[in-house]
């Protein structure tokens, strides 16, 4: 097959194309005389009839010249079209073969990519165990399927991805616990992992927790107002009292008191930090 392709030559003979006007001098003189005679002619009432006749004759001459051009042009183009048809026939035959071969090579290449993708996925599954990450979090890069990318290079890039995933997993654990400690839903902040640092997300949680606490305090105040003031008359139905006292007990006891106060709807105006004391 190689010999046929390398030794192929295309021999084409072509004569010198020439279309010659044999009476060109006479035709030059005729056209020049017509142009000279009728250029700048002025149409008047007296010359109108003669001008119309001249116009008809000039159009006839132009039409004859164009007809002759088209006639010779078609004669000239005929061998070109025939030559094109012959070459196109050869090209179509060769392109049919090219199409068949390309289909075979494409199928082979697709099979190779599928096999390599399977090998890469197996490698990801194996490496995920060592790195302690979920293999589903590692997406196969399309460029890894290229023949030029070795499995060694693929393994290096997978390792880098898994190290990054480890960092993201660690950040998520930190954020999840921090949100829970602040009484916030952790899932709301998961989408921020990898976009912001753990420190930045903690600041977001702090802000949200402060807003939530403020809203809860406002809700308690409104509830108290509803129970103490008649909205229609504005009269006080029940006076609000305030008392300050210091209590002492075990951590469990103080937690129970705090929980009771919170659930009772009593507004906690202020609270000091807890101190550990010895004795009564």
Over its length of 280 residues, how does the chain's per-residue pLDDT go in tens digits? 555 656 567 777 777 667 788 888 988 888 888 888 888 888 888 878 888 988 898 899 899 999 988 988 888 888 889 889 988 998 999 899 999 999 999 999 999 999 999 999 999 999 999 999 999 999 999 999 999 999 999 999 999 999 999 999 999 999 999 998 888 888 889 989 988 999 999 999 999 999 988 888 887 777 766 666 555 665 655 566 677 778 887 878 878 877 777 777 677 777 777 777 765 5
Rounded to whole angstroms, the Cα distance separating 269 from 223 reads 15
DSSP three-state, residue 187: helix
204: which residues sit within 8 A by CB, 6+ positions away?
A: 189, 192, 196
Residues whose CB is less than 8 angstroms from the CB of residue 238 and which lie 6 or more positions away in sequence, other chains included:
227, 228
Burial class (CB in 10 A: 0-12, 13-18, 19+), 277: exposed
8-state DSSP, 196:
B
HSE-CB for 226 with a 13 A CA cutoff: 7
Q: Provide the pLDDT for residue 163.
A: 94
pLDDT at residue 145, rounded to an integer: 96
**CA dist., res. 49 & res. 205, Å (int):** 99
Question: Vertex 226, ends 223 and 230: CA angle to 5°?
Answer: 170
3-state secondary structure (DSSP) of residue 193? strand
The Cα–Cα gap between 18 and 233 comes to 114
What confidence score (pLDDT) does residue 248 get? Answer: 80
What is the residue extent of each domain of the chain?
48-186, 196-239+249-265
Q: What pTM, to 2 d.p., does this model score?
A: 0.51
């Amino acid at each position: 097959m190689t010999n046929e392709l390398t030794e192929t030559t295309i021999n084409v003979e072509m004569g010198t194309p020439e279309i010659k006007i044999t009476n060109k001098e006479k035709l030059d003189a005729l056209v020049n005389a017509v142009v000279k005679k009728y250029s700048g002619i002025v149409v008047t009432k007296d010359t109108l009839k003669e001008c119309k006749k001249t116009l008809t004759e000039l159009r006839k001459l132009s039409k004859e010249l164009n007809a002759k051009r088209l006639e010779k042009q078609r004669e000239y183009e005929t061998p070109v079209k025939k030559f094109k048809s012959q070459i196109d026939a050869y090209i179509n035959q060769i392109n049919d073969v090219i199409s068949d071969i390309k289909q075979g090579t494409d199928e082979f290449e697709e099979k190779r990519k599928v096999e390599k993708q399977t090998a890469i996925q197996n490698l990801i599954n194996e490496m995920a165990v060592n790195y302690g990450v979920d293999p589903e979090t590692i997406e196969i890069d399309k460029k890894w399927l290229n023949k030029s990318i070795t499995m060694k290079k693929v393994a290096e890039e997978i390792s880098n991805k898994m190290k990054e995933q480890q960092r993201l997993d660690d950040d998520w654990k930190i954020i999840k616990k921090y949100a829970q400690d602040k009484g916030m839903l952790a899932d709301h902040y998961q989408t921020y992992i990898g976009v912001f640092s753990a420190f930045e997300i903690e600041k977001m949680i702090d802000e949200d927790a402060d807003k939530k606490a403020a809203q809860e305090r406002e809700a308690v105040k409104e509830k108290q107002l509803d129970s103490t003031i008649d909205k229609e008359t504005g009269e006080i139905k029940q006076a609000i009292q305030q008392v300050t006292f210091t209590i002492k007990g075990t951590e469990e006891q103080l937690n129970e008191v705090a929980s009771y106060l919170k659930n009772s709807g009593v507004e906690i105006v202020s609270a000091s930090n807890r101190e550990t004391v010895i004795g009564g």
